[in-house]
Amino acid sequence: MNALKLIQVDAFADRPFTGNPAAVMPLDAWLPDEMLQAIAMENNLSETAFTIPDASGEANYELRWFTPTTEVALCGHATLASGHVLIEGDVIRFRTRKAGILTVGRDGEALTLNLPATLVEPARNDALLAALGTPDAGYFVSCAGIEGTVIILLEDAAAVRACTPDFAALAKIDVMAIVTARGGDEADAVSRVFVSAWGIDEDPVTGSAHAALTPFWAERLGRDTLAFFQASARGGHLTGRLAGDRVILGGRCVTVIEGFMRI
């Protein structure tokens, strides 16, 4: 029986039990994919991040992410959590299979996460809007994103909080659905994120969603640096800065569990 180190981190959080929890498991070498998936299912968090030392010289570590049901191409909060666990200097680099090189850096007591920007264009999907219970909302879809990303623009923050999706219907639509509106006094913009098709009905605080929300709101508000609040039950604050074709997210992390998984 092997004992594998496991660290659970609340990402985009300044205190325990807020933000988005992620498990981070540093490995010496990749386990079989079915074992990685089984570990993620056992953890039953929105994401489990696995790393191994990078032998290519491009980065410090290779990085992969698994939900309880599937491997995903990009996860922001679990990348930030992995940086929180593994960073030694000012910057740590992760090599990923589909998202390229991702970096996590220090910014005082916070961390920054550098992601590729996701751009969206107006479109229409009546089935998705019906599943979200927002039939009259504005709808924008990514055409070249790493994974299917949809932004649904609602009239105000109250409408975002009141959104009550039909999760069974949503599970049949293979996208990350982001409902968002201007945030008023709380933040520049608020959002909630639903990914039922990937085994997560509502994700608490989603870094990859803000890779799309940052350019979306930067265009509408006329500035490149923004404050966001993701209005899930746990809730989380983060910042986003548009830098060319990249988005720099900022937030804090808190370690809540350290131990070993025996397999």
pLDDT single digits (tens) 9-52: 999 999 999 999 999 999 999 999 999 999 999 999 999 999 99
Where do the structural domains in the chain lie, given as residue ranges?
Answer: 3-107+251-262, 120-249
Q: Given this chain, do its domains 3-107+251-262 and 120-249 carry the same CATH topology?
A: yes
Q: Which residues of the chain have pLDDT under 70?
A: 144-147
CATH architecture designation of domain 3-107+251-262: Roll (3.10)
CATH fit for domain 120-249, picks 3.40.309.10, 3.10.310.10, 3.30.559.10, 2.40.50.140? 3.10.310.10
Identify the pLDDT of residue 94.
98
Identify the pLDDT of residue 124.
84
Residues carrying an active site annotation: 47
Q: What is the pLDDT of residues 181-212, one digit of tens each?
A: 999 888 999 999 999 998 899 999 999 999 99
Identify the pLDDT of residue 185.
87
One-letter amino acid identity for 62? E
Q: Give the phi and the psi of residue 76 in degrees, each rounded to 5.
A: -75, -50
Q: What angle, 0 to 180 degrees and rounded to 10, lies between the N-to-C axes of helices 207-221 and 76-86? A: 110
Residues 6+ away with beta carbon under 8 Å from 88: none
Output the pTM of the full model: 0.92
Identify the pLDDT of residue 144.
60
Identify the pLDDT of residue 145.
57
The Cα–Cα gap between 125 and 208 comes to 21
The Cα–Cα gap between 70 and 233 comes to 24
Identify the pLDDT of residue 132.
97
